[in-house]
């Protein structure tokens, strides 16, 4: 983000006011991430509820599509559960057919420019009986109505939501793995790759 801001500033696309805004938002991150860590007991409860599921689906849109991919990867790596991440807008091209009451769907939908579109996708999951675990901005009553479980994150600029949204997903993966008896410190078949230049 800093590199993008610097390049934008040098090219004349970003003004000083915008840079100052993002610096202030970034300075909030340690406090916001600490607040999320206080939700550990809630996330552990959610893990307890869903740890016996053999499949998970993660949905995100726009800047949070990679967050969905990373959340699925973390769960898969340490709990050995089949987990897949999809772009929420691609739901109608196959993944929607998989939805039932036995397939938890984690939806990353904080207040961003694509909130309404992602909500529409979440509603499609809900109407098909899917069990939704939502990562949303604080006080999101709309998503609460269709979610089995909800994890609220503090409101922050859209470009920083992936940094904030990934933490509850990492905690969820950690607790699910522990509940399934997996060694989170030594996941199987994961090799460290070190490149020496």
The answer for residues whose C-beta is within 8 angstroms of residue 154's C-beta and 6 or more apart is: 28, 32, 35, 36, 137, 138, 164
Kindly tell me the burial class for residue 184, based on how many C-beta atoms sit within 10 Å of its own C-beta (0-12, 13-18, 19 or more): middle
d(CA 112, CA 161): 8
Is 63 within 8 Å of 161 (Cβ atoms)?
yes
Which of the following CATH numbers is that of domain 33-179: 3.40.50.10490, 3.30.420.40, 2.60.120.260, 3.40.190.10?
A: 3.40.50.10490
The token pair at 65 is: 């599509």
d(CA 186, CA 168): 21
Specify the pLDDT at position 194. Answer: 62
pLDDT tens for the chain, 197 residues long, are 889 888 999 999 999 999 999 999 999 999 999 999 999 999 999 999 999 999 999 999 999 999 999 999 999 999 999 999 999 999 887 888 888 888 899 999 999 999 999 999 999 999 999 999 999 999 999 999 999 999 999 999 999 999 999 999 999 999 999 999 998 888 887 776 666 76
d(CA 139, CA 91): 26
Specify the pLDDT at position 112. Answer: 95
pTM over 0.75: yes
Tokens 């090799």, located at residue: 191
Specify the pLDDT at position 161. Answer: 97
In the chain, the DSSP E strands lie at: 55-60, 82-87, 104-108, 131-137, 149-153
Separation in Å, CA 8 to CA 3, 4, 17, 180? 8, 6, 12, 47
Separation in Å, CA 165 to CA 6, 38, 109? 25, 14, 9
């Amino acid at each position: 983000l800093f590199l993008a801001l610097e390049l934008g500033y040098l090219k004349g696309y970003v003004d000083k006011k915008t840079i100052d805004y993002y610096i202030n938002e970034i300075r909030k991150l340690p406090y916001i991430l600490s607040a999320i860590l206080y939700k550990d007991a809630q996330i552990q409860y959610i893990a307890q509820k869903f740890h016996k599921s053999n499949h998970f689906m993660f949905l995100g849109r726009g800047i949070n599509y990679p967050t969905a991919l990373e959340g699925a990867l973390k769960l898969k790596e340490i709990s050995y559960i089949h987990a897949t991440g999809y772009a929420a807008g691609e739901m109608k091209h196959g993944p929607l057919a998989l939805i039932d009451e036995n397939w938890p769907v984690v939806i990353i939908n904080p207040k961003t420019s694509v909130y309404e579109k992602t909500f529409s996708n979440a509603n499609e999951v809900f109407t098909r009986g899917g069990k939704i675990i939502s990562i949303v901005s604080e006080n999101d009553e709309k998503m609460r109505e269709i979610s089995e479980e909800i994890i609220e994150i503090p409101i922050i600029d859209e470009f920083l939501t992936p940094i904030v949204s990934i933490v509850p997903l990492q905690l969820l993966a950690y607790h699910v793995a522990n509940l399934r008896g997996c060694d989170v410190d030594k996941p199987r078949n994961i090799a460290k790759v070190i490149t020496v230049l």
